[in-house]
Amino acid sequence: MDIDGKRVAKEFQERLKQKIAKEGLTPTLAFVLVGEDPPSQSYVKMKGKACAEVGIHSIKIELPESTSELELLNVIKKLNSDSTVHGILVQMPLPKQINEQKILLAIDPGKDADGFHPINVGKMITGDPNVIIPCTPLGVLKLLEAYNIETCSKHVVVLGRSNIVGRPLANLLSQKRAQGNATVTLAHSLTKDLPALCKQADILIAALGKANFVTKEFIKPGAVVIDVGINRIDSKIVGDVNYGEVAPLTSYITPVPGGVGPMTIAMLLENTYLLAKSGL
C-alpha cells in the first residue's frame, strides 16, 4: 500500500495554519540561497510557497556563486541579530569556496530551522525533547506515526549515512521514544552484501541518493519501505527504490514523488513555528 505523504503533509499544514492564525503569530523564515544550483532554486521556491500557504512570512536572500565565506558569514550575522527573523535556512550544497560546517556553526542555534547546528545535533542525539529535529528525519517519523507503523523492537536498516538524513534518522529510531525503540543498522556504500543485509529489515529506509538502487533482492516480503531519494533522470524525478519491482513485495511503501518530500517541507514549517513560538 502506498503511503500518501502528500495527503499527510497537507493535513499537517492545515492544522498548522489554524494554530498560527489562532495564536496571532507571524513566524518569519529567512532563506539564504547561494549560487545557481537548479534543484536548490526549486526547493527554496517550493518551501517559500508552502510558508505563504500556512501564514509564515518568508524572506529570500539570493547571493551569487562567487560569494565568499566571509560575505555569507556577515549575512548570517545580520539575520541572527534581526529580532523579526525566527528561523534561518541556508540551502545546501554551498559553493566549494565555502565551508558548510563553518556556516552551520554561525547560525544562532535558536534560529536553526534545519536543526543542523552542532549544538542542536548534540541535543537531539542525547534525546533532549526540546530541540529542533532535522526536517526529513522528522517527516519520516511523522509518516510512520500517521500510518500506525510500529517501530518498537523492529529491525530498521537505514541506507545512507548523511548528516541531513541517514545519520540523524538512525539515531532517532534507536532512541527510547515514540517512533523509536528499533534495532537499527546504518548501512552505506562500503557495507558488505547490501541486498542480504537489507533483506533482514522489517523497515528499510533508502537515503543514499542513487536512482532505483534498491531492487527486489533487497526486500523481505511484507517489509515497509521508505524512499527518501530524489534523483533526476532526464526531467523525471525517481527515488532510490525501483518502485515498480519493489512495491508488490511490501506492506507499505512511499512513492516518489508524493511520499517523504512533502513531509520534509511540512516539517520545516513546523520547525519555524516552534522557533517563533518558544524561541528554542
Residue positions annotated with a catalytic role:
47, 91, 114
Number of residues that this document lists for the chain: 280
* From 21-29, 69-77, 85-93, 172-180, span contacting ligand GUN (CB under 6 A): 85-93
Residue 92 makes contact with ligand GUN by CB under 6 A: yes
Residue 90 makes contact with ligand GUN by CB under 6 A: yes
Residue 164 makes contact with ligand GUN by CB under 6 A: yes
Contact 280, 130 (CB under 8 A): yes
Nearer to ligand GUN, 165 or 276 (CB): 165
User: Smallest Cα–Cα separation from 266: which of 156, 145, 162?
Assistant: 145
Report the distance separating Cα 270 and Cα 272, nearest Å: 5
- Tell the smallest beta-carbon distance from residue 151 to ligand GUN (Å): 22
Nearer to ligand GUN, 110 or 251 (CB): 110
* From 89-97, 197-205, 233-241, 247-255, span contacting ligand GUN (CB under 6 A): 89-97
Q: Which of 89, 187, 226, 228 binds ligand GUN (CB under 6 A)?
A: 89
Residue 135 makes contact with ligand GUN by CB under 6 A: yes
- C-alpha dihedral, 7 to 13 to 16 to 21, nearest 10°: -130
Residue 114 makes contact with ligand GUN by CB under 6 A: yes
Report the distance separating Cα 21 and Cα 245, nearest Å: 44
Please count the other Cβ atoms lying within 10 Å of the Cβ belonging to residue 42: 10
Q: Which residue is nearest to ligand GUN (CB)?
A: 92
What radius of gyration, in Å, describes the C-alpha atoms of the chain?
A: 19
